[in-house]
Amino acid sequence: MISRNSFTLVELLVAFAIFVIVIGLVLLSITGLFRTSRTIQTSLAKEQRQRRCALFFSKEVSSLARLENPVSGVSGTAGEVSFVFARENSLVEARYVCNPAAGTLEHYTQDPADFNGITTANQENFLEGLEACGFSYSDGTAWHPAWAAGCADLPKMIRAEFKFKGDSQSREFVAQVPVS
């Protein structure tokens, strides 16, 4: 009887092929996990930016100051909204502008308010990577694409709607204007 203490070349090649297939499947799984993780992180970052923007916008709108000065009311179009709100010991002018060319929702503030309507002292990009954004205004019965600066009444609600690049649906948040 011949004793066999080694492997044949065919056995080694089969074992090596099985090893390569197993390693390939493991690497595919790990790559898929990283891809999924990256997608989830991107989605969570969008959600976090959206929540931050909604919170900040709602906070400013809920502090909206109703003044006798007609310039201090709410004015807005589908692309921007301006108003004066109360912060601690001063009145602050705020303006939110949709910039479709840059893909951003920009936030401008002037503290204290100078009532010039320009509001460019401080600027930050609130949301980036946008495909579209806009505002609409509710009088309590219907939504309107614009709100006149000289209007005696404030809108009941202001809605901001935006769509991130690559998203299939748009997102929105609604801020209620306080009743004086």
pLDDT digits (tens, 9 = 90+) for 61-85: 888 866 655 556 788 899 999 888 8
pLDDT at 136: 94
pTM of the model: 0.73
Q: Which two tokens stand for residue 42?
A: 């991107």
- Inter-residue long-range contacts of 113-118, CB under 8 Å, 24+ positions, other chains counted: 113/72, 113/84, 115/69, 115/71, 115/72, 115/84, 117/71, 117/75, 117/82, 117/93, 117/149
pLDDT-above-90 percentage for the chain: 28
Whether the per-residue pLDDT at 116 is higher than 70: the answer is no
Query: Which residue did the predictor score with more confidence, 110 or 156?
Result: 156
* One-letter identity of residue 144: H
Instruction: Fill in the DSSP letter of residue 154.
Output: P
Q: Counting Cβ atoms within 10 Å, is residue 34 exposed (0-12), middle (13-18) or buried (19+)?
A: exposed
Whether the per-residue pLDDT at 164 is higher than 60: the answer is yes
Q: Which two tokens stand for residue 105?
A: 């929702």
Q: Which residues pair with 135 in a beta bridge?
A: 160
Do β-strands 157-164 and 122-128 pair in parallel, antiparallel, or remain unpaired? unpaired
The pLDDT of 129-143, averaged and rounded, is 90
| Distance of alpha carbon 173 from alpha carbon 180, whole angstroms | 22
Three-class DSSP category at 160: strand
Q: Look at the alpha carbons of 125, 90, 59, 180 in this order and tell me if their dihedral is positive or negative.
A: negative
The pLDDT of 89-114, averaged and rounded, is 85
Whether the per-residue pLDDT at 143 is higher than 60: the answer is yes
pLDDT at 3: 62
How big is the chain, counted in residues?
180
**Which residue bears the tokens 């748009």?**
170
Q: Which of 38-47, 114-123, 152-161, 163-172 has the lowest mean pLDDT?
A: 114-123
Q: Alpha-carbon dihedral of residues 82, 101, 135, 90, nearest 10 degrees?
A: -20
* One-letter identity of residue 77: T
